[in-house]
Structure 1
């Protein structure tokens, strides 16, 4: 097991990227940003500099929005640019991968990957005492070094990159609560809750009954 001091500070990062099969480019007039891939085409008319730069960077791999956005998009402040970019990302959320990572140089923890045109991801905060378990019919397969959670009824898949996330998944085979997970797992409570929140947001969990 990976040694943790459960009371030590933990820095987590929320990373954003585009599906690997999504290409970003300009139209012939250079005024409309076009995102194209197997799920179709999205057009963003007259995007701001911040929006265009963010999407081009996301095409290359996961980024922290806070690192990229600042008061450099015309007269807009950093906060305004951030809000505008988030509104665009919500519109194209079926193309956006959400990744949870730690600031320990060991790579991402898990990634929520859209798997359908209706995919809309929202991080879920489950009540501490609510019983929860893995959704029936969720399959777990190994692809290279990544465990993949998916269900034909869901619009997202979850890639498990590190054992911390797999520990949470394994305990969800039976009904449990967030508080119980925190007590059992040898990782900080904050990390346990973030992993659980991403799994729930992707639809991988249901009420434990």
Structure 2
């Protein structure tokens, strides 16, 4: 089990990156960003500077969106305006990422671990991902037809009927997957999994949001 000091909050990080075969660049006029990949080219007209910065960083690897926005300076008389501007920037980035979600990889990480826990990877152009919390006492299990394969140093969960694949980076996520082989409940998972409850539920939410699970009564 992952040890954590009782007085230290668990720090989960939600990271964003572009699919590895996506290239980001400006058009000839320097007015629009072009995201090019095997599925074609997406064009983002006159992106805000924070949007362009986010996409260029995501091309290089996973980022925390919060790191793009400067923290408000509470001692400055315009601190409230800074917070408002930061929120507007965050909203602008999220709006663009929703439009290109078929190119966006979502990764769950934890500060105390070395490396990410799992990643949700879009497999179709229609892919849309949002972590999905499962009610604590509803039964949940792996969806029929989901297969687990080994590629390199990672396990992959996928199905021909689903719009996402899930890459398992660490054993903590695989523990949760193995417990879903039989119908259980989130409450029971928290009791059995040798992990902090917040991490267990975050892993489950990512698996559910990717369609890898089915929920019963």
Give the corresponding residue for 1:176: 184
Give the corresponding residue for 1:86: 94
Q: Does 1:58 align with 2:58?
A: yes
Q: In the aligned structure 1, how far is the partner of 2:113 from the partner of 2:192?
A: 25
CA RMSD in angstroms comes to: 1.8
Q: Does 1:148 align with 2:147?
A: no
Q: 1:119 aligns with which of 106, 116, 127?
A: 127
| SS of residue paired to 1:101 | strand
| SS of residue paired to 2:108 | strand
CA contact (8 A) 1:70 1:79 kept: no
TM-score, reference length from structure 2: 0.91
Q: In the aligned structure 1, how far is the partner of 2:93 from the partner of 2:204?
A: 26
Q: In the aligned structure 1, how far is the partner of 2:113 from the partner of 2:3?
A: 15
Give the corresponding residue for 2:142: 134
Give the corresponding residue for 1:4: 3
| SS of residue paired to 1:136 | coil
CA contact (8 A) 1:27 1:34 kept: yes
Task: Call closer, same or farther: CA 1:6–1:187 in 2, change over 3 Å.
Answer: farther
Q: Does 1:29 align with 2:29?
A: yes
Q: In the aligned structure 1, how far is the partner of 2:65 from the partner of 2:10?
A: 19
CA contact (8 A) 2:4 2:10 kept: no
Q: Does 1:196 align with 2:204?
A: yes
Q: In the aligned structure 2, how far is the partner of 1:41 from the partner of 1:70?
A: 31
Runs of 4+ in 1 over 6 A off after TM superposition: none
Q: CA deviation at 1:39?
A: 1.2
Q: In the aligned structure 2, how far is the partner of 1:24 from the partner of 1:5?
A: 39
Q: In the aligned structure 2, how far is the partner of 1:207 from the partner of 1:80?
A: 36
Q: In the aligned structure 1, how far is the partner of 2:41 from the partner of 2:59?
A: 15
Q: CA deviation at 1:208?
A: 3.9
Q: In the aligned structure 2, how far is the partner of 1:12 from the partner of 1:99?
A: 11
